[in-house]
Structure formats: structure tokens, C-alpha cells
Amino acid sequence: MCCWCKKPVSFPPVLKYLEMELRNTGNRERLAYYHPHWTRNTAPLLDELGAVIDHVASGSGTEMLLCYTIDGVGRYLPSGISESAP
């Protein structure tokens, strides 16, 4: 789940292997599950729900890093907003 919008996310390798499995079954249609550049016209689902892991220092003096899962939209949020992440 995205820590900002609570939408489900998918890690890119999952969509890559899903497309590979469909190809292995003989499907020769144009598929748009995966593209290495996550472009909207070649992999719209990955562009929308592709998960990335982001981190932010906790600021507690121990420099502990907190990791968050973010969807495709969250990748473009200003970096300062991550300090108030759940």
C-alpha cells in the first residue's frame, strides 16, 4: 500500500514476470504490463501503481532510516513532505 494515498502498489518485477508468463502461453497481443522506463504509453499500470521504496532520516539523532512504499504518483511529491509520513 502506498503510504500517502493508500492505493495498492505493485513491484515492477511482478508485472515484468506476469508479462513474460503471458508471452510463454502463446499470447502475441500487444501487452502493456512492463517497460523498463515505466512510460505511460508502454506500461500504464506500472506508471500508475509501480512501487518504489523511499527513505527519510528520523531526525531523532540516531540517524535511523525509515522506509516507505510509494506509488507512481508519490514519486513526484516534494522531498520535504516525506518527513510527515505515517
Which residue is it, cell 499470447? 27
Residue 78 — left, alpha, or beta (φ > 0 → left; ψ -120 to 50 → alpha)? Answer: beta
Query: CA-CA distance, 71 to 26, in Å (whole number)?
Result: 31
Which residue is it, cell 513532505? 81
pLDDT at 20: 93
The total of other beta-carbon atoms located within 10 Å of residue 76's CB is: 7
What's the structural domain count of the chain?
Answer: 1
pLDDT at 82: 47
| 5 falls within a domain | no
Query: Domain of 16?
Result: 12-84
| 71 falls within a domain | yes
| 4 falls within a domain | no
Q: Which residue positions in the chain have pLDDT lower than 70?
A: 55-66, 72-86
pLDDT at 1: 84
Evaluated on CA atoms 79, 80, 83, 86, the torsion sign reads: negative
| 7 falls within a domain | no
Q: Which pTM value belongs to this model?
A: 0.63
